[in-house]
């Protein structure tokens, strides 16, 4: 009998969704007959000792719980509208901490234009926040992982690496404005957010698009080391592809605000092959159940 430890996160997801209508992107995008919008759905858990430690502040816990879901919407170029939050906690959980977390939720909802419309409470071994998001995107315009073409250039919306050392993984702001502007530009061929590291997440795009890629190590913007940028994850920047002659209209102010950098690589026709400076890139990365 196989265990989750033996399979790992990605193989387990593939096995469990084999007979389901799984989309394989950051969000599920569902057409709505008669509407000018597609429905966009996503969910994410936040679990103590997995995604945060007991030393995290209420503000950090609330931000990461909500921002992870909003980052999924950003990766699709979608507009988040509603959230449902299920709370799991042990019987001896400090209620004052929970009150502070939910108070912080209110300020986040106002900042990002979403509202909480439901949820549930249940007993568990550690503190967990399971967030379910509902949103929309103009019909047929969601940015998927499957559109990258050979010759496209590869971009990220900011520096990568060291998110866990610096604490950015708890305080990051989802790139919602970027996601919306990139969709409206009409120049982007594929996109997702970087949660598992540049190398791992780029491979998701390559597999979905049936292409390969070559990265330039000197062009990758860094907050930490190159190894951290490639494999650590939890940067939650957007990773996207576009033709060499693409014009990102309406993004001039955003580019200046984050010190926009050149492309970090290019898409190739070499199926699923990922190279770094011309050499094959190792596949090491964090993976639930294996690490």
CATH of the domain at 121: 3.30.1330.10
Q: Can you read off the two tokens belonging to residue 110?
A: 């106002």
Q: What is the pTM of this model?
A: 0.90
Residues 228, 250: contact at Cβ < 8 Å? Answer: no
Q: What is the mean pLDDT of residues 51-55?
A: 93
CB 214 within 8 A of CB 153: no
Do 223 and 118 reside in the same domain of the chain? no
**Residue 203 and residue 102 in one domain:** no
Neighbour tally for 252: CB within 10 Å: 10
- Rounded CA-CA distance 265/91 in Å is 50
Least confident of 11-25, 142-156, 256-270: 11-25
Element (DSSP H or E) covering residue 82: strand 79-89
3-state SS of the chain: helix, strand, coil percent to 5? 30, 25, 40
Are 134 and 166 members of one domain?
A: no
Q: What is the pLDDT averaged over residues 133-152?
A: 97
C-beta separation of 131 from 43 below 8 A: yes
- Which structural domain range is residue 67 located in? 4-138
The answer to whether residue 144 is domain-embedded is no
State how many domains the chain has: 2
For residue 118, give every residue at least 6 positions away whose Cβ sits within 8 Å of its Cβ, in sequence order, or none.
84
For residue 289, is it within any domain? no
Q: How confident is the model at residue 254 (pLDDT cuts 50, 70, 90)?
A: low
CATH code for the domain in which residue 259 is found: 3.90.650.10
Q: What proportion of the chain, given as a percentage, has pLDDT over 70? A: 85
Residues 158, 242, single domain; the answer is yes
Do the beta carbons of residue 31 and residue 38 sit within 8 Å? yes
Report the range out of 24-38, 142-156, 258-272 with the highest average pLDDT.
Answer: 142-156
Is position 11 within any domain? yes
Last residue of a domain, one of 108, 138, 168: 138
In this prediction, residue 2 has a pLDDT band, given cuts at 50, 70 and 90, of confident
- Asked whether residue 285 is domain-assigned, the answer is no
Give residue 7's pLDDT.
61
Average pLDDT over residues 30-49: 96
200 with 127, same domain?
no
How many C-beta neighbours within 10 Å does residue 234 have? 19
9 — pLDDT class (breaks 50, 70, 90): low
Report in angstroms the alpha-carbon separations of 31 from 21, 40, 151, 180, 270: 14, 9, 31, 19, 33
pLDDT exceeds 90 at position 239:
yes
Q: Dump pLDDT digits (tens) for 63-109.
A: 999 999 999 999 999 999 999 999 999 999 999 999 999 999 988 88
Question: Over 80: is that where the pLDDT of 61 sits?
Answer: yes
Mean per-residue pLDDT of the chain: 89
pLDDT of residue 247: 75
Predicted pLDDT at 258: 47
Name the nearest CA neighbour of 220 among 130, 269, 155, 144.
155
Domain contains 291: no
Calculate mean pLDDT across residues 110-118: 91
Same domain, 67 and 177: no
With beta carbons less than 8 A apart as the criterion, state whether 38 and 143 touch.
no
Burial label, 38 (beta-carbon count in 10 A; 0-12, 13-18, 19+): buried
Q: Which of 4-18, 197-211, 255-269 has the highest mean pLDDT?
A: 197-211
Residue at 49 is within a domain: yes
Are 188 and 133 within one domain? no
Whether residue 105 is contained in a domain is answered as yes
Task: Specify whether 207 is located in the same domain as 92.
Answer: no
Q: Residue 234: which region, alpha, beta or left (left: phi > 0; alpha: psi -120 to 50)?
A: left
pLDDT at 183 over 80: yes
How confident is the model at residue 23, as a pLDDT? 56
**What's the average model confidence in pLDDT over 205-231?**
96
């Amino acid at each position: 009998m196989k265990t989750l430890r033996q399979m790992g996160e990605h193989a387990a997801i593939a096995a469990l969704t084999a007979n389901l209508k799984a989309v394989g992107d950051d969000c599920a995008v569902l057409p709505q007959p008669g509407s000018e919008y597609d429905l966009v759905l996503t969910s994410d858990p936040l679990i103590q000792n997995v995604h945060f430690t007991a030393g995290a502040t209420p503000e950090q816990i609330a931000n990461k719980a909500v921002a992870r879901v909003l980052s999924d919407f950003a990766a699709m170029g979608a507009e988040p509208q509603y959230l449902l939050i299920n709370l799991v906690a042990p019987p001896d959980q400090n209620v004052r901490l929970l009150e502070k977390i939910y108070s912080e939720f209110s300020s986040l909802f106002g900042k990002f234009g979403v509202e909480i419309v439901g949820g549930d409470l249940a007993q568990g071994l550690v503190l967990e926040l399971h967030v379910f998001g509902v949103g929309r995107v103009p019909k047929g315009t969601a940015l998927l992982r499957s559109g990258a073409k050979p010759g496209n250039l590869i971009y990220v919306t900011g520096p990568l690496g060291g998110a866990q050392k610096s604490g950015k993984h708890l305080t990051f702001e989802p790139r919602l404005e970027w996601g919306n502007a990139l969709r409206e530009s009409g120049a982007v061929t594929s996109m997702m957010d970087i949660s598992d590291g540049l190398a791992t997440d780029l491979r998701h795009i390559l597999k979905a698009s049936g292409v390969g890629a070559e990265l330039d190590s000197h062009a990758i913007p860094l907050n930490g080391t190159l190894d951290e940028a490639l494999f650590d994850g939890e940067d939650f920047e957007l990773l996207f592809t576009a033709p060499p002659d693409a014009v990102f209209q309406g993004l001039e102010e955003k580019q200046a605000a984050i010190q926009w950098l050149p492309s970090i690589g290019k898409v190739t026709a070499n199926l699923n092959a990922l190279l770094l400076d011309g050499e094959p890139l190792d596949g090491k990365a964090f993976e639930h159940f294996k690490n």
